[in-house]
Amino acid sequence: MELAIEQAKLAQKNNEVPIGAVIVSGSNIISSAHNTSNDPTAHAEMLAIRQACKLLSTPTLYDTDMYVTLEPCPMCAQAISFARVKRLYFGAYNPKGGGIENGAKILQFCSHIPEVYGGILETECSFLLKGFFEKLRDFTNCH
């Protein structure tokens, strides 16, 4: 999860929502990514899945684990299922936009359901997001 947090911090440096994702197989890092702008599908999870599939030349990521700093949204939850990620670890829960434990709970409708572990380094992951949005609100209120 520490590597996903590092990716989130890279996003934050670029004034992007600080969410990071890493895909590993055993002890090997397969891909890592963070949110980017100008594309509503460019979530950290989607980018990490695309990179991993390209690197491995396969549409499925059997025997991989994904670490992401925020509970995936419904779009990302469905992509994680389609990619056949074995285990999903996420940091902060996402009561408003989540798709795993909150919101649409997409995985209950999927043919492949990864093992899911939430709340990993939740405090650190939440702190990044809360700080980002507080600064954004302060900036918006000043202009």
Which percentage of the chain shows pLDDT scores above 70?
Answer: 96
CATH number of 1-141: 3.40.140.10
Residue 57, C-beta contacts closer than 8 angstroms, at least 6 positions apart: none
User: Would you please indicate which residues are annotated as catalytic (active-site) residues?
Assistant: 45
Please give the annotated binding residues for Zn(2+), written as ranges.
43, 73, 76
**Domain spans of the chain?**
1-141
The rounded distance, in Å, linking the Cα atoms of 124 and 133 is: 15
Mean of the pLDDT values across residues 88-113? 96
What's residue 129's pLDDT? 94
Sign of CA dihedral 97, 102, 103, 107: positive
pLDDT attached to residue 135: 80
- What mean pLDDT do residues 2-6 have? 98
Q: Distance between terminal CA atoms of the chain? A: 36
The model's pTM: 0.93
Residue keyed to tokens 């999927």? 110
pLDDT at residue 138, as a whole number? 66
pLDDT (mean) for 101-120: 96
3-class secondary structure per residue, 71-133: CCCHHHHHHHHHHCCCEEEEEECCCCCCCCCCCCCHHHHCCCCCEEECCCCHHHHHHHHHHHH
Q: Report the binding-site residues.
A: 43, 73, 76
pLDDT at 139 over 70: no
- pLDDT tens digits, one per residue of 53-98: 999 999 999 999 999 999 999 999 999 999 999 999 999 999 999 9
